[in-house]
Amino acid sequence: MKNALLFLWLLTSLHISAQNLALNKSVSSSSDESGVLTASNAVDGNLTTRWASAFSDPQWIRVDLGTATDISQVVLHWEGAYAIQYQIQVSNNGQSWTSVFSETNGNGGTDTISFSTVSARYVRVYGTQRATQYGYSLFEFEVYGPASPSDANLQNLYVNGTALSGFSSDDYSYTYALSPGVTTVPTVTATASNSNAQVSINPANSVPGTTTITVISEDGTTTQDYSISFQVSSYVLVWGDEFENDGSVYIAGEINDVDPAKWFHQTYPANGGNGWFNNEQQHYTDRTVNSYVSDGTLKIKAIKETYANPQTGSTQNYTSARLNSKYAFRYGRMDVRAKLPSEQGTWPAIWTLGQNITETGAYWQTQGYGTTGWPACGEIDIMEQDSNKSITSGAFHFPDAQGNHTYTTNHTSVTDTEGTWHEYSMIWTADGISLMVDGVEFHNTSGVDMSYFQNNHFILLNVAMGGALGGGIDPNFSTAIMEIDYVRVYEEQTQSSPGFDVLPSLQVYPNPTNSLATISSKSTMSSLSIYAISGQKLLHQTPNTNEVLLTLDLPEGIYIVEAIVSGHKLHKKLVIE
């Protein structure tokens, strides 16, 4: 699945395969953006490290193979800062260069470039036009020789059209954890290192299940099998908003207010009452024109208009909305499926802040939780988009050892963010946080002080105007919309069978049931709730006992029972037939 978390294990190398000739070889570059984004990262065989150049044209990176070697292919794994125009050049003395390939309309991702076999000691990528305001950035720069007729290795492996992150031709077995709720078998495609080799794919019958890929070499002497074991997710939905018609809060065919039980409109200007931080140029309102639900999605709409904040009287020339979730959590997975505005000057964001932040007008501050200033409360930017609408950024904000604000950030290429749905995700554990777009990680907490990310966080959805990331606003700007299909928060549970969690301290029986159900635990339940799979709370009690008999007048379907027992939040799935 495109939106999935990958867990990869190297098993056993059965034979010598197509060799990356550049792996761990001597490498140099025209420039390095920083002391950690050096050229050596592009030949270390690790797709999570990268080289990045200075922010100018032209730039280059070259690898020394050590001796003249027959080569016929280069593979480039671009980061979000890719090249529109570049050349692959070769040399035997490192001084005079011959071009073997030219690209004039690059689009990033992974470029596999084949050319007539040449003998060369040095190979370089020479970039002449950047796609972004940043430099050039490569996760990996690979060089290969001519394919052998007996070569039975894969060169690339794709799941639902997306390259399998971390794939290596010498790794023959993978375990792939599907996203929460996904039960369909993903489509697998593959290409062989030798284009004349035969590739056959035997898909899994269901999930969990295993898809096998068999490669037979061109000369028929070698056969190699690869496999992907698809596993169901270990996460269970605990909160969310599908923004779908439910007959009460959201009515089909109408313009609906955002659900006030789940969302709070933060409207008080946090920067001393005059505006917002980072030189933003909007006021946030709780008006339906700036945030509403219709046709199954949430719309956050920025509008060009002169507006005086009713709480402070200060005036701005743009309005928008900033939503705080009335739900806070620590650890788990969060998915938001969204389309982003394309108008210049918009700054859409999906992010979280510590529930304990002291910020006048924020929801949890109004509930008495404000004890800690920013950035010590912690900030997780799952998705931010600046003036470059072809990339998405993520960041972690926290104090350094001296108590000053510091952060880590990274970005990735995301195409057609206005016309295509993309899923922006976070997986958060006690040990680290991973940020993803469409299931592929682009930033994590390596180098981050995790002590600032052990508290509950709440979710923020907003569209700012201008400011540090929005940049210059188009003088012809009138309106822009960030559209959100769903917001989902999951907690990880232990599983013994596909889709069902095992919670020994919480029992639900009979299960399935028609209407009557007994909920029991070995200890007192201080809270008991029933949720629809969409995240809508349907029932809530405070039983203060260890057993409850419920009569449920609910339609057929799957529901989630949530109980708080001895301070622990437990979940069990309930099926009503």
Helix (H) or strand (E) segment spanning residue 363? helix 363-366
| Residues 123, 63 contacting (CB under 8 angstroms) | yes
Helix (H, G, I), strand (E, B) or coil at 467: helix
Residue 258: phi, psi to the nearest 5? -65, 140
Centre a 10 Å sphere on the Cβ of residue 403 and count the other Cβ atoms it contains.
9
User: Distances from the Cα of 500 to the Cαs of 232, 237, 293, 523, 573, in angstroms?
Assistant: 10, 12, 32, 22, 7
The bridge status of strand 433-437 relative to strand 405-413 is: unpaired
| Residues 70, 42 contacting (CB under 8 angstroms) | no
Retrieve residue 212's tokens. Answer: 């096998």
Q: Which amino acid is at 166?
A: G
Is cis: bond before 348, omega within 30 of 0? no
Residue 93: phi, psi to the nearest 5? -125, -5
CA distance 571 to 499: 13
Centre a 10 Å sphere on the Cβ of residue 139 and count the other Cβ atoms it contains.
19
| Residues 539, 459 contacting (CB under 8 angstroms) | no
User: Distances from the Cα of 117 to the Cαs of 10, 102, 148, 291, in angstroms?
Assistant: 31, 16, 13, 59
Where in the sequence numbering do the catalytic residues fall? 379, 384
Helix (H, G, I), strand (E, B) or coil at 402: coil
Residue 404: phi, psi to the nearest 5? -90, 155
Burial 286-316 (b: 16+ CB within 10 A, else e): bbeebbbbbeebbbbbbbbeebebeeeeeeb
**Cross-strand partners of 487:** 241, 336
DSSP 432-471: -EEEEETTEEEEE-TT--GGGGSS-EEEEEEEEEBHHHH-
CA distance 537 to 510: 21
CA distance 252 to 424: 26
- Is the Cα dihedral 354, 360, 361, 367 positive or negative? positive
**To which residue do tokens 């050590």 refer?**
66
User: Distances from the Cα of 371 to the Cαs of 123, 328, 377, 400, in angstroms?
Assistant: 56, 15, 9, 19
**To which residue do tokens 């010598």 refer?**
16
Burial 35-66 (b: 16+ CB within 10 A, else e): eebbbebbbbeebebbbbbeeeebbbbbbbbe
CA distance 28 to 494: 47
